[in-house]
């Protein structure tokens, strides 16, 4: 009898506990998805910068000899941004990838390709307001990748 009386007092407790834990579980799930998406985009950026540096390092010596350095640089920038040297292709990442190249004709100096991309969260807003109590929390994170490669 005592056991049945305790069960009557426990009715509805599961839904209350679920109501308290559901927001926390959803936050952890969506935050994990955002972190995974950010790491995927950073990996894409890093691999494209490596490809651009490899292309520039392989083509630089012959470009200096034929005076086509600007064409090779623009092809390397296009390779980082779109994954190909063909113009008019869609970007590898949503948004803008800014690319800079640094080359020097001296043999021991490597070519350096740097790219910056701003990661914007998909689920959460770019900025969480502080409502005057604290400064706004900016969730847009700049991702930067830099690769130096010796001229081949």
Domain of residue 112, residue span? 12-150
pLDDT tens per residue across span 80-131? 999 999 888 999 998 889 998 887 755 567 899 999 999 988 877 777 777 8
Within-domain flag for 102: yes
- Residue 21 inside a domain? The answer is yes
Report the alpha-carbon distance of residue 3 to residue 58 in Å, rounded: 80
- Enter the DSSP assignment of 28: H
How many domains in the chain? 1
36-61 pLDDT, tens digit each:
999 999 999 999 999 999 999 999 88
In a domain, 5, yes or no: no
DSSP string of 34-77, one letter each residue: HHHHHHHHHHHHHHHHHHHHHHHHHHHHHHHHHT-HHHHHHHHH
7 lies in some domain:
no
Query: Is residue 76 included in any domain, yes or no?
Result: yes
Residue 81 Cα distances to 25, 41, 84, 94, angstroms = 36, 12, 8, 10
């Amino acid at each position: 009898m005592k056991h049945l009386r305790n069960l009557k007092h426990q009715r509805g407790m599961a839904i209350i506990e679920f109501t308290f834990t559901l927001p926390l579980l959803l936050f952890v799930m969506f935050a994990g998805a955002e972190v995974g998406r950010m790491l995927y985009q950073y990996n894409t950026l890093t691999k494209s910068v490596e490809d651009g540096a490899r292309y520039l390092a392989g083509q630089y010596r012959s470009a200096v000899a034929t005076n086509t350095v600007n064409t090779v640089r623009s092809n390397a920038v296009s390779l980082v941004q779109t994954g190909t040297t063909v113009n008019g292709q869609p970007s590898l990442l949503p948004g803008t990838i800014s690319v800079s190249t640094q080359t020097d004709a001296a043999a021991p100096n490597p070519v350096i390709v740097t790219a910056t991309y701003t990661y914007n969260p998909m689920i959460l807003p770019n900025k969480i307001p502080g409502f005057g109590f604290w400064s706004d929390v900016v969730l847009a994170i700049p991702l930067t990748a830099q690769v130096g490669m010796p001229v081949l």
